[in-house]
Chains A and B, each alone.
Chain A
């Protein structure tokens, strides 16, 4: 059975908790000298990126490699996409390589769902238009959970350009699902009408920011000035920048990156101990490992059938015995020399 991660909406709280637990077990692997387990050996993960992305594409690639999967990365540059091939034809063509999973980043909402309809592979949404970026939300939850231990009842303020932010949408849904009280705040021109229907409060000033346990600042893109959504960066920074005056000592600061220093965040808060920004980047790899593992190697059906064990015991993803891992995942005995995995 193929499984996909297309939207935070598709995940129940229990699903999210399982991914966070799994990520924590992979964090231990990341601490090893050889940061690799053979869980996905022989499987192919295809990264299909229709938008420039540094951290998302590199962390997906690294996550797949640390699980021993083969990876192919296709970006718009240098692909047949430039020759006018439709998304459908590109996906059909690349599906001929029989990938186990397609990771798709697209400037258009719903692209991941479309891809899921066109390929027998599982699909991970790595950002679709201004809609969602579910793995970002999961790594944010993971980072915060590691820091504070409990998400229930946390007051989270998401500040900035909510209108154009897929991170905002996935994070509102994810924080709400985990029992946080979410407030979005920003210029009224950059807050979508009816965003409150996602379960958050809406504010157009930071007057009540002091109540927040977590301040999650969004990236403010310069293009938005050109589109006249805000009159100037100066006025934006004056009203909405998170700086040392606004950020209190009990509050945690998060940001999806890349940061515009001096716009949404001031330099001093970026480098403060309250900021989890570099931890968020670090979490990217282990959370994406957890997502890939959950979609491809976890679950009763896979483990029972693949391991050949009647009790359906879940294989240990952290096993460094390649022979055992191959058996567990592929369901066939393959003679593999014992030794450190490559």
Chain B
């Protein structure tokens, strides 16, 4: 089995509430799906929840009883996939629930997400995982997959019952929020992976190097006297874990890369044939340390916003494919927890509802990255974990988002679907707005203002 093959996990089942399959004709939108060779105006017919037909603009007719939507001025993409979301359930339903988090995902154009297990309690046993899957089948607006912890209570010492958890539907394993501190424990997890068969997603950080750090160690932390988290805290662990994974022939996914050295370490490991993949978040791709000069707690996250050179390295990694996909690391926090001095506030920003718009505004509009590439990377996260790549090709289960690339909006002014408001982009004007999302063949989101006329 080649490294490329091992980077694609076996098929997996996600959970969502059942919804009536969509029947929808989108007329005259710009259809963009580079993998399917689509990049131009056309009509798109969704019927019985599948992509029924793709034709040139004006070529398709709406079947009886099917909704017809004027797509003029809109773009149709395969719906995005987010492999890194915190749904805060169970335990902190005041911050997010499966229902609100998946609604936020749908509003951001996502047709599927993966949820992290660092909840209260931690998802480290089959019963907790089962109850979450049940909840998702009752209330999730878009399909959700759940990850389980690598170690019991994320304590970093004893492995969870990974085989049983995999049989119960765990999409992958992660101690996200914390690193697997001991290389020995990680090695055991990689050996056991041969039994469990699911990827390990790794939060890469050396606690000894991060210390009490609250922001990137650099010019801004020097000015503000705030303890810094150096880039090497992440990059040394990326290199270490890639080496361990290579030795064991294991499959690892590096979460939320933030430092240029980490991108380099991933690229090196890939070149050596290690089955490693990586993600980067919209905030690390669009913002840098200068953006925390005012100590805005909404911009405090882990890993921290780094130097401009790191941001540029991430963008180049996304372009080259060293970074496989975009992941939001959507991390809702209660308002009162963020209304504290920077050093005391918890780390994390929401991201589902701003992800595409932030990347479009900061990278596509200025001409840094082509739109097609951004859409590819925003849709690539699922395949790394065995979820089919969304596509506009006929026959595929419909997973589509309609986006108005001309729309301008100010983050925070129109409210959020998420229960939390801690967006690092709050107050910024962004370009592009998701008007409609179809997930697993059903309409999962329709912007209240979106014009829709029944045929």
Contact = CB atoms under 8 A, between A and B. Distances in A.
Given A109-B342, A110-B341, A111-B341, A198 B223 contact: yes
Interface string A191-213: 01111011000000000000000
Given A113-B294, A166-B225, A193 B340 contact: no
A114 B224 contact: no
Nearest to A193: B217
B228 A193 contact: yes
A86 B228 CA distance: 25
Interface string A139-167: 00000000000000000000000001110
B222 A108 contact: no
Interface string B212-248: 0000011101111110101000000000000000000
A169 B295 contact: no
- Minimum-distance CB pairs A-B, first 4: A108-B341, A130-B225, A110-B295, A131-B225
Interface string B383-398: 0000000000000000
B218 A114 contact: no
A130 B225 CA distance: 5
Given A129-B225, A131-B224, A198-B223, A110 B342 contact: yes
Contact of A193 (B222, B341, B342): B222
Interface of B: 217-219, 221-226, 228, 230, 294-295, 336, 339-344
Nearest to B215: A109
A88 interface: yes
A87 interface: yes
A109 B222 contact: no
B217 A129 contact: no
B339 A88 contact: yes
Interface in A98-112: 106, 108-111
The residue in A108, A195, A198 that gathers the most chain B C-beta atoms within 10 A of its C-beta is: A108
Contacts of A61: none
A195 B340 CA distance: 26
Contacts of A193: 217-218, 222, 228, 230
B259 to A, nearest CB: 14
Nearest to B307: A194
A181 interface: no
B226 A130 contact: yes
Given A109-B342, A192-B225, A194-B221, 11 more contacts: A86-B339, A86-B340, A109-B224, A109-B226, A110-B295, A114-B341, A131-B224, A169-B225, A192-B228, A197-B222, A198-B222
B341 A192 contact: no
B222 A131 contact: no
A45 B244 CA distance: 61
B222 A192 contact: yes
Contacts of A87: 340-341
B342 A108 contact: yes
A264 interface: no
B221 A192 contact: yes
Q: What is the predominant secondary structure among interface residues of chain B facing chain A?
A: loop
A132 B225 contact: yes
Contacts of A110: 224, 294-295, 341-342
Contacts of B336: 86
Contacts of A86: 336, 339-340
A165 B339 CA distance: 25
Nearest to B337: A86
B343 A194 contact: no
Contacts of A132: 225
Nearest to A227: B211
Contacts of A106: 341
A169 B336 CA distance: 30
B85 to A, nearest CB: 28
Contacts of B339: 86, 88, 114
A139 to B, nearest CB: 19
A194 B218 CA distance: 6
A164 B221 CA distance: 12
A164 B228 CA distance: 12
B295 A109 contact: yes
Contact of B222 (A128, A164, A195): A195
B346 to A, nearest CB: 14
Contacts of B295: 109-110, 113
Contacts of A129: 225-226, 341, 343
A186 B246 CA distance: 43
Contact of A108 (B223, B230, B294, B344): B344
Contacts of B219: 194, 197
23 contacts: A86-B339, A108-B344, A109-B224, A109-B225, A109-B226, A109-B341, A109-B342, A110-B295, A110-B342, A111-B341, A113-B294, A113-B295, A128-B341, A129-B341, A129-B343, A130-B226, A131-B225, A132-B225, A192-B221, A194-B218, A195-B222, A197-B223, A198-B222
A307 B343 CA distance: 44
Nearest to B223: A198
Contacts of A113: 294-295
Contacts of B218: 193-194
A132 B293 CA distance: 13
Nearest to A168: B225
Contacts of B230: 193
B338 to A, nearest CB: 11
A194 B222 contact: yes
Contacts of A195: 222
Contacts of B340: 86-87, 108
A136 to B, nearest CB: 13
B160 to A, nearest CB: 35
A193 B228 CA distance: 9
Contacts of A128: 341
A113 B339 CA distance: 12
Nearest to A132: B225
Nearest to B226: A109
A206 to B, nearest CB: 21
Nearest to A195: B222
B105 to A, nearest CB: 31
A252 B13 CA distance: 74
A98 B73 CA distance: 54
B226 to A, nearest CB: 5
A110 B341 CA distance: 6
